[in-house]
Amino acid sequence: MRVSVDDDVCGGHGVCMMLCAEVFVLEDAGYARAVMEEVPPEHEAAVREAEIRCPTRAIRVQ
Ligand code: SF4
């Protein structure tokens, strides 16, 4: 499973980071970034939850 954050859409709310700090970090510029492209199996559920709960739908999961 792969994940990315669209920084044109991200509003910097940090919901993703609260749900999965192992995968998402908030940059100083005010938007989130995925620190890894390939998500380890143990974090897949949290990343899917972040995708669903992101207020701006900025998280892409493939
Ligand atoms: S939850 Fe969505 S809008 Fe908020 S920081 Fe994460 S990617 Fe950005």
Q: What is the pLDDT along the chain (62 residues), one digit of tens a residue?
A: 999 999 999 999 899 999 999 999 999 999 999 999 999 999 999 999 999 999 999 999 99
Ligand 1 pocket, residues with Cβ under 6 angstroms:
5, 10-16, 31-32, 54-56, 58-59
Whole-number Å distance, alpha carbon 31 to ligand 1 midpoint, is 7
Domain ranges of the chain: 3-61
C-alpha distances out from residue 3 to 7, 8, 53, Å: 13, 16, 15
Give helix then strand counts, H and E, for the chain: 2, 4
Q: Looking at domain 3-61, which of 3.40.50.11900, 3.20.20.100, 3.30.70.20, 3.40.50.720 is its CATH number?
A: 3.30.70.20
Whole-number Å distance, alpha carbon 41 to ligand 1 midpoint, is 21
pLDDT of residue 13: 87
CA atoms within 13 A on the CB side of 61: 19
